[in-house]
Every structure is written in structure tokens, then in C-alpha cells.
Amino acid sequence: MKCVDCPALIVSFAVLIAGSVALAQSTQSFHNAPASAEQMTNPLAGQQAAEQAGEQLYARNCSSCHGARAQGSGNIPALTRASVKTASAGELFWYITKGDLANGMPSWSRLPEQVRWQIVTYLKSSRLGSVAAVAPESPTEASTSSYPPPTPPFTDYRYEHPGKFRHITLKDLPAPYKTPSADNGPQVVPRPANAWPKAPAGFKVGLYATGLNNPRLMRTAPNGDIFLAETDAGDIRVFRGMTPDGKPQMTKVFASGLNAPFGIAFYPPGKDPQWIYIGNTNAVVRIPYRDGDLVARGEPQRLDDLPSGGGHTTRDIQFSPDGTKMFVSVGSHDNVSDAPYEHDRANILEFNPEGTGKQIYAYGIRNPVGIAVNPKTGELWCSVNERDGLGNNLVPDYITHVQPGGFYGWPWWYMGGHQDPRFPGAHPELKDKVLTPDVILQPHNASLEMTFYEGRQFPAEYQGDIFAAEHGSWNREPRAGYEVIRVPLHHSGHASGEYEDFLTGFVVNDKSVWGRPVGVTVAPDGSLLVSDDGSGSIWRVSYTGQ
């Protein structure tokens, strides 16, 4: 049985363990666990199979944060500390189950009981901290690539595989120009006969729809219909229902004649929207909508113009949970520039729902392609394409919650106060204002749409987590991205920095790819839908447990 949330669990667990040494040395119980917890018996104690399962979980999911020998790193404490060794198995199990949200430790009662005991068994075993716990990463693709292996924590398509957790921090960033800047755009080819997206064990990938024209962002309507932007065609398409073999029961073109549409949002929030908002590349428009409409019942109403032209054309839309504010993402005109035509660009703009009252909500965000509201916290989040031209491993893309008024660096700074060498000495007064994102991704991944998983089909540990589409790099050799990732939020609504390769297999070799994920949304049955503008398809990921 796989515990996909083990990294987050043990990170949170270990941070709290760090402060418990004094308790362990006194007569107090571990984190004030009741006497009944200390008396609990581990049903897996001493079982070699349970210890081995825990060892495999650690090597696969946890060693990137806690170190190969569980020695810890940075502010992540070692798991070999006395507080873990002296706590009883029952106390550890009790604390993992109960949690302590005030101190950042969520309850993990939703994890199967056997999985919680497996974790405890490994934490208490002599295997913890052994060299044998290290599982070196190996390529997943049979390739004639001449590129050397990547230097962790950075990776490339050859080493992406479902279930692999990754964690990049600021200390991992190289100096600018450490490697040449690549021009390595993909050649998109027809899907080979033996090629199919790959998901973690227990998940099945099916083809939901194909033959689409540049399928991009998707959103699920309150009634369960799936709305898709076919950007090049200028259409919004709607899919309804699900057949027993995982296909839509019907599809219609909802609206046409739009100007490179991308963002889709329903207003007001809730079960009875009256409008569907669309982010054209040059304006926000809205169309009258009633629950169940398959065809627009009126012409688009233009609300406000948006800056257009240049390299970034996508415009996403979200509403605050109370429906009083509309957020619109607008990418930069250039890769890096502070020219006057960048006014109102590389920002998330805020409007009243009628398109009035425009102001900047957050700025210095080079290309916030996908935005979404966290249903647990109400915070706005975004998925960002960072700048190119500084080398293979600069600058990382990222996913983060967005602070109102927050500055994220572009174009003068990046990632917590690193100055872009193309603007030496520019705006020193902004250095200390640069916010570090929550989750640092592989550089040049081209992170696009993101969604929060609120379905009920996937295992409970996925509830509330982020799924995001990584369209794939052009400014990197060898290429990276071309996958869907999962960001665990630990049932708390907050990220701790790691992410997981979730859906891979879209790359053929160093030169060619057959698929490029763009949009992600959750179908009414809880499966995950992924649009792919490389093959003109929508893929459906369902959980079977097999």
C-alpha cells in the first residue's frame, strides 16, 4: 500500500519532534499523549515486511527532504533524534492520527490505519537512517540521449516518473549563466502506437475526447458540465455526462468568434450562476448563462479591455469566494523588460464583477497563466511561467498563494531577492520585498492551469491537493515538464514545498514530444481531466486501486 503523502506527513511530524526532546527526557508523555496511547500495541512491530515497506516509502518520497540517512537538512530536523527513539509506538501513532494544527501538524486520521502503523514501524526500526534507504534515481525512458544525468534536485524528462516527489529550495539555485541558454523547442509528432500517459499505481488513464482544436483551459460548471477553451479556433466547447467507458455523452460548441479565449469562470459563485466570464486575450467578456446551457443564450458583453500583444496571450479569470472581486491574470509582453508597454502586465489585476474599479492585486509575476481559489482557505493561488535566458536551471517556475499587494520580483529580481543580471543595480529598494513562492518547480516547465482536487474518487489523502499542468520547456536541454504534477497541501490548505510527478510519458526523445498538458479539472465522478494541445485530446485519470 502506497502512502503518497508520507513526505508531507513526516516533514510536519519531524518539525514538531524537534521541540520535544525536553519532554522525552522528563516524565511527560510524547506531546502529552494520553496513557491509553502509550499502551497501544503496534500490530506490525518486528515485521520485516513492514520495515521494508517503510524503507521503500522513505527512499521514494522522503529522502529528498530528510536526507539519505534521515539526518535532516536545513530547518528539517533529523528523524534519528532521541525524541523519536524514546517515544512509544503508540504515542507516535496517536500523534500522527490526532495532529496539532496550531503547530502545523495536520491530523492524518484519513490515512488507512495500516499505513500509519507502517510509518511508525519504520520510524522505530534500526533500518531508519541506514544507507540502504537511499534509492538512486534512474532514467525511466530507454533513450539514446547523449546528455549527462541531471544534478538533483533538478531533473529532466528522462527521470520523471509517477510517484516521484521533488523539493527545490532557494539554496539549490545556481548562478546565472552557469550553463548556456538553450533554444530547444519541441517537435510535436503524432502519438506513437505504444505511447500512453503514465499515472501512479492504482490509477488508470483513458482517452476522454480527441480530435480537438488546440484544447487549452478547462473548467467544471456547477452542474458538472465541462467547459473547454479551444483557443486557436476562438471557441468555447462544452461536454456533458460520462459514458460507462469514460467518454462524454454529448458535446456542443457553446460560443464561437471569440478572440483567443482562455480563462473561464462562472458568476456568481455557487450553484446558480447567471453569467459565464471568458478571458479573451484583449478583454474580459461575459455571456448570459443558466444552469445546463449548452449554447450561449446571448452575445458576449465586453466588460473591460486588457493589454494584449507580445509573447503571453493567456488571460485567466477567478472570483473571490464572496463574489465581490474578479481576478484576471495578465502575462508580460516580453521575457524581461521594464518598458512602458509592460504597464498592467506581469500582474494579477482586480476588478469589480462588472469590470469596473481596476487595480493591481499582485505584481512582478511574469506570466501567471493559471489562477485558482483555494476552497479551504479562500486564498488566490497562481501557476507561473518564470523568465528564460539565464541557463538550464534558472529561473524556476512556481506555484504559490498570492498575497494582496505582493511583489514577486519580475523583471528586476527573482526568487527571494536574487537580482537579474540583465538589470544590474536596478531598484535596490525592492530587494527585500520579493516574496519567495510556496512551491519551486523545475525551471522552464511552463506551468499552466491548476486546480484543487475536491472530488471523492481519489484516496482521501488527495483531498484539497493541487494538480497542475506543466506544458514543457523550450529553453532547456534536455527538456523538462510535459507532465501533470500534484502539490500536497496536507489537508491544511498550505504547501510545504514538495511536489509529485503524477502524469508523465508525453516525451518521445530528445527532439520530439507527442503531448503537452495544458488544462486540468475535476469531473463530477471525481476523475481528473487533462487537456493536451499536442495531441488535441483530453485524458481522463481515474482511481481503480489496482
160 located within any domain: no
Rounded alpha-carbon distances, angstroms, from residue 426 to 135, 137, 342, 422: 44, 40, 16, 9
155 located within any domain: no
- Given a contact cutoff of 8 angstroms between Cβ atoms, the answer to whether 96 and 117 are in contact is no
CATH number at residue 20: 1.10.760
pLDDT at 71: 65
Question: What is the C-alpha separation between 167 and 55, in angstroms, rounded?
Answer: 19
Of 133, 159, 192, the residue that ends a domain is 133
pLDDT at 76: 55
Question: What is the C-alpha separation between 419 and 416, in angstroms, rounded?
Answer: 9
Domain of residue 29: give its range. 6-133
- Given a contact cutoff of 8 angstroms between Cβ atoms, the answer to whether 294 and 315 are in contact is no
Q: Render pLDDT for 439-490 as a digit per residue (tens, 0 to 9).
A: 999 999 999 999 999 999 999 999 999 999 999 999 999 999 999 999 999 9
- If asked whether residues 428 and 291 sit together in one domain, one would say yes
156 located within any domain: no
293 located within any domain: yes
- If asked whether residues 398 and 337 sit together in one domain, one would say yes
Residue 3: band (very low, low, confident or very high) from pLDDT cuts 50, 70, 90: very low
If you write DSSP's letter for every residue of 107-154 in order, what string do you get?
--TTS-HHHHHHHHHHHTSTTTT-GGG------SS-----SPPP-TT-
pLDDT at 28: 67
Nearest alpha-carbon partner for 143 in 154, 133, 157, 132: 157
- If asked whether residues 100 and 178 sit together in one domain, one would say no
- Residue 279's φ and ψ, nearest 5 degrees, are -90, 95
Question: What is the C-alpha separation between 255 and 248, in angstroms, rounded?
Answer: 18
End-to-end CA distance of the chain: 10
- If asked whether residues 111 and 203 sit together in one domain, one would say no
- If asked whether residues 91 and 16 sit together in one domain, one would say yes
Q: Which of 53-57, 178-182, 224-228, 416-420 has the lowest mean pLDDT?
A: 53-57
Cell of 420: 537579474
pLDDT at 16: 42
pLDDT at 139: 80
pLDDT at 21: 39
pLDDT at 167: 97
The 10 Å Cβ neighbour count of residue 398 is: 25
163 located within any domain: no
Residue 74 has pLDDT above 70, yes or no: no
pLDDT at 37: 83
- If asked whether residues 128 and 198 sit together in one domain, one would say no
Residue 546 has pLDDT above 80, yes or no: no
Residue 107: band (very low, low, confident or very high) from pLDDT cuts 50, 70, 90: confident
Cell of 424: 544590474
Query: If you average pLDDT over every residue of the chain, what do you get?
Result: 90
212 located within any domain: yes
Residue 2 has pLDDT above 50, yes or no: no
pLDDT at 10: 44
- If asked whether residues 115 and 195 sit together in one domain, one would say no
Residue 67: band (very low, low, confident or very high) from pLDDT cuts 50, 70, 90: low
Q: Which of 71-75, 264-268, 277-281, 392-396 has the lowest mean pLDDT?
A: 71-75
pLDDT at 271: 95
CATH number at residue 412: 2.120.10.30
- If asked whether residues 181 and 228 sit together in one domain, one would say yes
pLDDT at 262: 98
166 located within any domain: no
pLDDT at 143: 59
Mutual angle of helices 48-57 and 113-123, in 10-degree steps: 90
Nearest alpha-carbon partner for 468 in 218, 154, 196: 218
Of 85, 108, 133, the residue that ends a domain is 133
- Residue 102's φ and ψ, nearest 5 degrees, are -60, -25
User: What is the DSSP-derived secondary structure letter of residue 363?
Assistant: E
Q: Please report the sign of the dihedral spanned by the C-alpha atoms of residue 375, residue 398, residue 490, residue 225.
A: positive
Residue 8 has pLDDT above 50, yes or no: no
Q: Which of 121-125, 127-131, 240-244, 352-356 has the lowest mean pLDDT?
A: 127-131
- If asked whether residues 339 and 259 sit together in one domain, one would say yes
How many domains, the chain? 2
Question: What is the C-alpha separation between 146 and 244, in angstroms, rounded?
Answer: 45
- If asked whether residues 122 and 211 sit together in one domain, one would say no
148 located within any domain: no
3-state secondary structure 339-359: CHHHCCCCEEEEECCCCCCCE
Residue 338: band (very low, low, confident or very high) from pLDDT cuts 50, 70, 90: very high
What long-range pairs does 189-197 form, CB within 8 A, spacing at least 24?
189/508, 189/512, 189/513, 189/514, 190/514, 190/535, 191/514, 191/515, 191/535, 192/508, 192/514, 195/505, 195/506, 195/508, 195/514, 196/505, 197/503, 197/504, 197/505, 197/506, 197/515, 197/530, 197/539, 197/541
Question: What is the C-alpha separation between 117 and 197, in angstroms, rounded?
Answer: 33
Which positions ≥6 away from 501 have C-beta within 8 Å? 160, 161, 162, 163, 164, 166, 483, 485
Rounded alpha-carbon distances, angstroms, from residue 87 to 38, 166, 349, 435: 8, 29, 51, 38
Question: What is the C-alpha separation between 319 and 300, in angstroms, rounded?
Answer: 19
Q: Render pLDDT for 416-436 as a digit per residue (tens, 0 to 9).
A: 999 999 999 999 999 999 999
Of 85, 115, 133, the residue that ends a domain is 133
Cell of 30: 510524547
- Residue 25's φ and ψ, nearest 5 degrees, are -85, -10
- If asked whether residues 124 and 179 sit together in one domain, one would say no
- If asked whether residues 104 and 190 sit together in one domain, one would say no
